[in-house]
Structure 1
Amino acid sequence: MLAFLLKRSRRPRWTRHFPIWFSPFHTCFRHQAQQQWAPVYVQGLCSPAHRKSMQPLADQVAPGKQDHLQHFITDSPWKTEGREQIVADRAQHLLGGRNAVLIIDDTCLSKFGSHSVGVGRQSSGQAGKITNCQCLVSVTLARDEIPIPLRLRLFLPSEWSTDPARCLQAGVPQEHPLGSTKWEIALREIDDLTGSVQFGMVLADAGYGVNAKFRRALTARGLRWSVGTVRTQRVYPAQVHLIPLPKRSRGRPQKHPTPSEDTETIEAVLVREPWRRVMWRQGTKGPLTGTFAAKYVRLADGNANARGQHLPGEGAWVIGEQRARGERKYYLCNLPPETSFDHLVRVTKQRWACELGHRELKQEVGLDHFEGRTWQGLHHHAVLCLVALLFLQWIRLSQLDGFFGESVPAIRREIAGVSPRRSQRLRLYCSCCTALFSGP
């Protein structure tokens, strides 16, 4: 939809702004050819081309120069780190602060065949099933429901991580740690972003939240987090304590203490709690509400005793959400015990913004349109997709009337002439802009 608005706007005007905006990225490229083709490729990603694979992209911005763009993406040996740092710095300027959240998730790119780096039979949220795809771990900064994706890192499934020769053939760097889990990749990206962006919470879905090592690593870094989990997650009452070990005059001394309370599943804990209806944000069709329950507990994720029972770990909130069709979702959050119920719900539900970011990356700048097979080519394309979406979000966060030369109501009138699906997306866009520009 952002590219659609650029097409509807006075195109020469936004292209005059682009060189100045892109200049910090321009200086990151050492060679003249790289400096020439980098802005061309990003403008192609921002263009209204239906598909952003190499041929249609080149037809939009560099007719007859497809080979030059192909070489720049797949073969030219430039690093992504400097560009990612500029993306983070600019995202911090636009959205960063204590009210921002950092969202950890993954997004999958459907693929045929077996030669593209990292491709394999994996769970795809987009497809809703196990399918042949590449999986990218994403880190997104969001505030006020506006997302800016900061990092995209390819996850290598076991059939790749256990085959160094295959990885070498696909161009996986030798220094890349094979066998890294998704949560380990996410932690490395969080560490790399420390000091570059400011945020108040880390959010993640159950794919990351069920892992106690991931949660403990976030806590060890002094971070507040809210993550998805499963209904069978076991917890202790908040007042649990360890019974002192008895002294024995004979036999082996007891090594492991015993908790004063038994564990329960969070499903069983929340059944006894009152469920309340909460409005967490205003949507395009009115307020978004749901039914929630919460209880402060101690997580059963400490060291295991002789019986294999996990001892009490850190204190955290368990939160349940009743969906419209009867489905229930569960979350863990390490905010303090005095946190208000409404704040718990609002923070937890902010994770949806990364889904919007993933959708924009794919539908607007063609993240999933890349047809190359190598590690370098994929990550070159991915980082320039981040740059392109950052530019579009910068336009979105600028004064829309002054930039496009037309008002939001005028853009709304354009909605009548597009398909119902795109019309719905444009209404969401205009609603967000109106809320943003009417704020302080």
Structure 2
Amino acid sequence: MNGDWRSELDAWLAPFVVALRNKTRGRMCPAYIAGLIGPGDRKSVQPMAARDGDVSYDKLHHFIGSGVWDEAPLEMALLAEADRQVGANDAWLIIDDTALPKKGRHSVGVAPQYASALGKNANCQTLVSLTLASGEVPVMVGLRLFLPESWTSDMARLERAGVPEDFRHYRTKPEIALAEIDRVHAAGVRFGCVLADAGYGLSAPFRQGLSKRGLTWAVGIPFKQKVYPADVAMVFPVAGRGRPRKNAIPNITSVSAQAMLETVPWRKVSWRRGTKGQLSARFAAVRVKVADGPPQRIHDMGAQHLPGEEVWLIGEHRSTGERKYYLTNLPVDTPIKQLAGAIKARWICEQAHQQLKEELGLDHFEGRSWKGLHRHALMSMIAFAFLQSLRLKQAKGGEKESPGRHRSRACRRSGKPSLTASPSRPIGHVRTADVVLWKLLGKICQSSANLTREDGTSFFEIAQKANVKSVTTVFPLAQANVALERLRSGAVVGAAVLVPSNYAKA
């Protein structure tokens, strides 16, 4: 990583360094973040200190693991920067969680639990995440550890891991998310709608908590979530004998979300353009009242939840045959295309999770403490925000949107990938030593001219010098031998190794 790039990082970090209020910490913070962003496969303290050379392992380890300093000012600085980058009245605040696989049982919060990234139960830590996003530009603003009951019931483990007193009681993921939303909202961060998947949407207290806060929301739900028609009425049943009934009951029973949409017309809706054209699916939407009110005995069916808030029930029928269901309190006159766009905007947080892990080492922390894990996560989020600032800086016209959102016409016709950075890889940051194979096919995609390395040279200029015409395949460094074999066999006629500071002809 060249000096100009590091100088730009140091200048950008000035508000964060000021928030630390200490000269030594003011040196450690930029060094740690530069270590996360810079080259190297491992982003734990020891290899980062070794690559830096100017900062010792002991000092960097003390800063992140046991140093006495308050993270709150840095968190506030991150929120302010995120709001500056993507905050707006139509921005999304996306709630999700991400798993960090771990061995053993001593790292704070580690336990056998569902890991969404793996699609199965695994020994891992789970972080509840908050992502502020506008268009296709996400900025992660919150990562808070979920403690399973096996931890909150074991005071000795909590003590050893240094879990603060305020966080030692059991809290569900939706409860953690609501507390984090309050923190973000109190900081004045602008957003328009809260999004979450069914892991949070199935929680009635979570949905009700969002509504009580006056927030607009759109969440996934299980297909069996009970709902009533929007015109359900509360009536007093006629008592055959005995005293008159004191409590009103619905004049119709609740049904599952799946059953409610069986008689509703479905139609194809496109919500945005992706790299392969318009993204579309079949959708259906109807106004309902959610069965999440107080429980009440209804006839001989036992206790049933009474009708609650009136909202939209939305169904999505994907091309794979899979069906998904959602609830949102968007206004009653919201068009179905806008409803579809809202519920599908959540995908961007998954790309943010991927980049935080693959490029910034979110899951590389080797300590066991609460403090160390959350500080490492905070540094990862700050590093991610810096990369997004580079992306926005280089976007034409200062638009808060990815220049790589659409491939050029030449790329779409040829079916070849564009060199322009995708949302998971911001402009100005190329993963260390990716191997790109090129072959002579006529025209190079002109959108590649928007992507440059740190010295200002565009990929288009590099490609011209190397007589390169279009991209065919991207190989990770671990598969460089495969790339070279293809080169020697004549399957491709040009190859280059891409690193942040130099592009060498192979």
Q: Give the TM-score taking structure 1 as reference length.
A: 0.89
What secondary structure does 1:194 align onto? Answer: helix
Provide the rounded CA distance (Å) in 1 between the counterparts of 2:8 and 2:389: 11
Equivalent in the alignment of 2:391: 396
Q: 1:294 to 1:372 in 2, by over 3 A?
A: same
1:31, distance to aligned residue in structure 2 (A): 3.1
Q: 1:141 to 1:271 in 2, by over 3 A?
A: same
Provide the rounded CA distance (Å) in 1 between the counterparts of 2:181 and 2:476: 35
Equivalent in the alignment of 2:402: none
Please tell me whether the aligned partners of residues 105 and 204 of structure 1 are also in contact (alpha carbons under 8 angstroms): yes
Amino acid at match of 1:361: L
Write the mapping of 1:256-295 to structure 2, written as runs, cut at 5 A: 256-295=247-286
CA distances 1:278-320 after superposition (whole Å, capped 9, x unpaired): 1111111222111111111111111111231111100111111
Equivalent in the alignment of 2:440: none
Matched, 1:419 2:477: no
What secondary structure does 1:336 align onto? Answer: coil
Q: 1:391 to 1:417 in 2, by over 3 A?
A: farther
1:166, distance to aligned residue in structure 2 (A): 1.1
Please tell me whether the aligned partners of residues 118 and 156 of structure 1 are also in contact (alpha carbons under 8 angstroms): yes
Equivalent in the alignment of 2:292: 301
1:420, distance to aligned residue in structure 2 (A): 4.1
Q: 1:229 to 1:42 in 2, by over 3 A?
A: same
Query: Which residue of 378, 382, 395 corresponds with 1:383?
Result: 378
Please tell me whether the aligned partners of residues 99 and 115 of structure 2 are also in contact (alpha carbons under 8 angstroms): yes
1:330, distance to aligned residue in structure 2 (A): 0.9
Equivalent in the alignment of 1:326: 321
1:177, distance to aligned residue in structure 2 (A): 4.5
Q: CA RMSD in A?
A: 2.2
Provide the rounded CA distance (Å) in 2 between the counterparts of 1:131 and 1:320: 31
Equivalent in the alignment of 2:213: 221
Amino acid at match of 2:98: T
Equivalent in the alignment of 2:312: 317
Q: 1:342 to 1:409 in 2, by over 3 A?
A: farther
Identity of aligned residues (%): 45
The structure with more radius of gyration = 2
What secondary structure does 1:350 align onto? Answer: helix
What secondary structure does 1:92 align onto? Answer: helix
1:164, distance to aligned residue in structure 2 (A): 1.7
Amino acid at match of 2:90: N
Please tell me whether the aligned partners of residues 53 and 366 of structure 1 are also in contact (alpha carbons under 8 angstroms): yes
Provide the rounded CA distance (Å) in 1 between the counterparts of 2:80 and 2:472: 38
Equivalent in the alignment of 1:20: 11
1:403, distance to aligned residue in structure 2 (A): 8.8
1:419, distance to aligned residue in structure 2 (A): 3.0
Provide the rounded CA distance (Å) in 2 between the counterparts of 1:104 and 1:338: 25
Matched, 1:103 2:94: yes
Greater relative contact order (CA < 8 Å, ≥ 6 in sequence)? 1
Provide the rounded CA distance (Å) in 2 between the counterparts of 1:108 and 1:259: 42
1:123, distance to aligned residue in structure 2 (A): 0.4
Write the mapping of 1:153-164 to structure 2, written as runs, cut at 5 A: 153-164=144-155
Equivalent in the alignment of 1:192: 183
Equivalent in the alignment of 1:3: none
Query: Which residue of 125, 150, 155 corresponds with 1:134?
Result: 125
Query: Which residue of 333, 339, 360 corresponds with 1:338?
Result: 333
1:256, distance to aligned residue in structure 2 (A): 2.3
What secondary structure does 2:231 align onto? Answer: coil
Q: 1:304 to 1:408 in 2, by over 3 A?
A: farther
Q: 1:180 to 1:403 in 2, by over 3 A?
A: same
- 29-38 or 163-172, larger mean C-alpha shift: 29-38
- 297-306 or 60-69, larger mean C-alpha shift: 60-69
Equivalent in the alignment of 1:203: 195
What secondary structure does 1:50 align onto? Answer: coil
Q: Give the TM-score taking structure 2 as reference length.
A: 0.78
What secondary structure does 1:185 align onto? Answer: helix
Q: 1:385 to 1:417 in 2, by over 3 A?
A: farther
- 308-317 or 413-422, larger mean C-alpha shift: 413-422
Provide the rounded CA distance (Å) in 1 between the counterparts of 2:247 and 2:459: 65
Matched, 1:239 2:234: no
What secondary structure does 2:312 align onto? Answer: strand
- 114-123 or 394-403, larger mean C-alpha shift: 394-403
Provide the rounded CA distance (Å) in 2 between the counterparts of 1:60 and 1:344: 48
Provide the rounded CA distance (Å) in 2 between the counterparts of 1:31 and 1:299: 52
Amino acid at match of 1:338: D
CA distances 1:364-419 after superposition (whole Å, capped 9, x unpaired): 21100101100011011010111110001100110266994244745887994973
1:63, distance to aligned residue in structure 2 (A): 5.9
Provide the rounded CA distance (Å) in 2 between the counterparts of 1:104 and 1:415: 38
Amino acid at match of 2:229: P
Structure 1: runs of 5+ lacking an equivalent: 1-6, 423-440
Q: 1:31 to 1:256 in 2, by over 3 A?
A: same
Write the mapping of 1:61-72 to structure 2, written as runs, cut at 5 A: 61-62=52-53, 65-72=56-63
Amino acid at match of 2:354: R
Please tell me whether the aligned partners of residues 45 and 57 of structure 2 are also in contact (alpha carbons under 8 angstroms): yes
Provide the rounded CA distance (Å) in 2 between the counterparts of 1:163 and 1:76: 25
Structure with greater helix percent: 1
Please tell me whether the aligned partners of residues 314 and 326 of structure 2 are also in contact (alpha carbons under 8 angstroms): yes
Q: 1:27 to 1:411 in 2, by over 3 A?
A: farther
Please tell me whether the aligned partners of residues 131 and 140 of structure 2 are also in contact (alpha carbons under 8 angstroms): yes
Matched, 1:360 2:351: no
- 280-289 or 119-128, larger mean C-alpha shift: 280-289
CA distances 1:323-356 after superposition (whole Å, capped 9, x unpaired): 2221111111111221101000001100001101
Q: 1:56 to 1:168 in 2, by over 3 A?
A: same
CA distances 1:106-140 after superposition (whole Å, capped 9, x unpaired): 00100000000000001001111000000000011
Q: 1:333 to 1:24 in 2, by over 3 A?
A: same
Provide the rounded CA distance (Å) in 1 between the counterparts of 2:462 and 2:265: 45
What secondary structure does 1:85 align onto? Answer: helix
- 332-341 or 102-111, larger mean C-alpha shift: 332-341
What secondary structure does 2:191 align onto? Answer: coil
Equivalent in the alignment of 1:372: 367
Q: 1:226 to 1:409 in 2, by over 3 A?
A: farther
Please tell me whether the aligned partners of residues 240 and 260 of structure 1 are also in contact (alpha carbons under 8 angstroms): yes
Please tell me whether the aligned partners of residues 47 and 60 of structure 1 are also in contact (alpha carbons under 8 angstroms): no
Provide the rounded CA distance (Å) in 2 between the counterparts of 1:139 and 1:223: 15
